[in-house]
Structure 1
Amino acid sequence: MFIDPMLLSTADNPFSHSNYIFEPKIDGHRLMFSQTNGRIRLYTRHETECTQQYPELLAPFDHDILLDGEVACTGPDGVDFEEVMIRFKAKKDHRIKELTATSPVTYVVFDILQYKGEDLRKLPLIQRKEILAGISMPNQHFGVIPFVEGAGEALFNQMVNRKLEGMVGKRKNSLYVSRRSPAWQKVINWSYADVFITGYRKEEFGWLAAVPDESGRLRPAGIVEYATQATRKEFYSKSRALVTGEDKKFVYLSPAIRGRVKFRNWFKSGMLRTPVLTELIE
């Protein structure tokens, strides 16, 4: 069985509140674990089945159950988003078997939606947490997310110090609804960098970003796909005099415009992950 997941709103800043619990935000992908009549199926938030990709999670519970959580891989530097994406994209049995040995996943459970045939979504979150805490996990690849009550800012500071993705604040009395809700709010631990804008897409919005390498020469660092309308207008007014060439997809610019971006982290390839332009720099 699949149920559309409850999605996070975004909080501008870390916050604390006695009516909330706060959890670490795990940098993996959303996973719904469904066991119906003993049969296990795994789904992404978009209902894409990924049961085949994670054989270490095909361990049955004592009773039928529907869980919501995040599947993640850990590496030498902590949680590794790129590794879990490699796991998710693997389709051939021999490759899946190989990756299960070299890059095992952990399913971090943060909610329980059904158990023993009972729909739990109308129960307050804190009560669902109590039910979840009383259930034995079927193997070492399952874990339950820890949480603190009230002290969101202190938890967020821990996430920053440990270079983790951020935190999620959830109202203790929130019911589980299959939509984006202000009752659940994420606060991202953004990184920041200054980039040169060296071109832009002709069709959909996107600016080519570059950063200096060790020798001082500019190298590509990805595509900025998020910027305010006011910033876009300012950019295009400045860019007209800087055009150096074009091809079918891009217009190229002399690297005279700089911008500050916030982003999740650096990919191993040296690209920015999910860069958002915060301002143009004079």
Structure 2
Amino acid sequence: MLLFEIEKPFNSPDYIFELKWDGYRALAFINDNNLLLQSRNQKNLTPYFSELKSITSLFKGTNAVLDGEICYLNRDGKPVFEKLQGRIWQKKSNIKYPVTYITWDILGLNNNDLTRTPLLERKKILQNYIQESNRLKRSKYIKEKGKELYEMAEEEGLEGIVAKKVNSPYEFKRSKYWYKIKIWQYTTAVIVGFTRDKEALLVGKYLKDNNKISFMGRVKIALNEAEKKALFRFLPTLKVKKPPFKVRHKQGISWVKPAIQCKVKYTEITSNNTFRHGFVVKLKI
């Protein structure tokens, strides 16, 4: 069940609100001592997260299907997505940074289909059937007060919140019973290049106290069609042979003079000093 995205948080007695966990979405199929973790595109994630095998012993029923997120949690209990990156491309499970499965829904229990059971009833069943540990946790929720939870998540530097209608069934599609409200940050950057398929821009930021530019990575384009067409009429006139900073050779990239500033929205700046989930939303010429 996927979520629609909306811009602003809200309060409503018809909804519950949870934190938006930052990791790999996965269904967990539990059958006695057997576990299958399945990604959104039906990839088997189980071999890459062997430390989650123990969650089968924390479930009280015979079998179940759970929905949740595979996360690495730091000492403060906050998800750090970067610690997960690379796990699913490694040949062997690397548990240097052990993960936690955070579950928020139960779709089946002891061979019974629960997808038509109202959400709050499913939440109660979930609470009764799992024992929490470092490897398995329930996503906590509050009723009605979405704005307050959003403000708390913003103060803590989290990704956002989700809103779910209290009587919603579980649908295997993108559903308007569930919404996600991301917490975005905004900054000014300068365009230093573009991909030749015109699907993304490369951007940087001027460093303080000098005229040098720090490369901030690739961002998607969230301009209207008129702005995008005008931008790509102008960018080719600014082409240069190389960028104003050291960078590994990138094929399919055209570099340009840093003449156009832009407003970028993003969720965080990674340890590699690049925008995560970055979008150019406005030009500043």
Q: TM-score, normalising length from structure 2?
A: 0.89
Please tell me whether residue 109 in structure 1 is matched to residue 103 in structure 2: yes
What is the identity, as a one-letter code, of the residue corresponding to 1:231? E
Aligned length: 271
2:46 alignment counterpart:
51
Query: What is the aligned counterpart of 2:169 among 175, 181, 186?
Result: 175
Distance 2:35 2:237 in 1: 59
- Contact 1:38–1:64 at 8 Å: present in 2 too? no
Whole-Å separation in 1 of the counterparts to 2:252 and 2:87 = 31
Stretch of structure 1 that moved more, 155-164 or 31-40: 31-40
Q: Residue 132 of structure 2 contacts residue 138 of structure 2 at CA under 8 Å; is this kept in 1?
A: no
Once structures 1 and 2 are overlaid, which stretch shifts more, 38-47 or 241-250?
241-250
Which residue of structure 2 aligns with residue 68 of structure 1? 67
1:93-132 aligned within 5 A? 96=93, 99-100=94-95, 102-132=96-126
Percent identical among aligned pairs is 28
SS in 1 for 2:44: coil
TM-score, normalised via structure 1 length: 0.90
Residue identity in the other structure for 2:182: I
Residue ranges of structure 2 left out of the alignment (5+ in a row):
243-249
Q: Deviations over 1:53-85 (max 9, x none)?
A: 212211223320110001111236732101122
1:120-148 CA-to-partner distances (Å, cap 9, x unmatched) read 00111111111111113274310000101
Letter in 2 for 1:236: F
Distance, in Å, in 1 between the alignment partners of 2:190 and 2:121 is: 50
The 3 A distance-change label for structure 1 pair 256 and 20 is same
Deviation at 1:205, TM superposition (A): 1.1
Cα 1:225–1:35 change in 2 (3 A) is same
Partner of 2:280: 277
Please give the root-mean-square deviation of Cα atoms over the aligned residues, in Å: 1.9
User: Could you say which residue in structure 1 is the equivalent of 2:85?
Assistant: 85
In the TM superposition, residue 87 of structure 1 has moved relative to its aligned partner by 3.0
Other-structure match for 2:190: 196
Could you tell me which of 136, 139, 147 is aligned with 1:145? Answer: 139
Which letter does structure 1 place at the counterpart of 2:47? Q
User: Which sections of structure 1, spanning at least 5 residues, go unmatched?
Assistant: 1-5
CA distance 1:89–1:240, change in 2 (3 Å):
closer
Whether the 8 Å contact between 2:216 and 2:275 is mirrored in structure 1 is: yes
Cα deviation digits, residues 96-130 of structure 1 (max 9, x gap): 2xx42x31111110000011110000111111111
Residues 212-221 or 252-261, more deviating: 212-221
Kept in 2, the 8 Å contact 1:15–1:153? The answer is yes
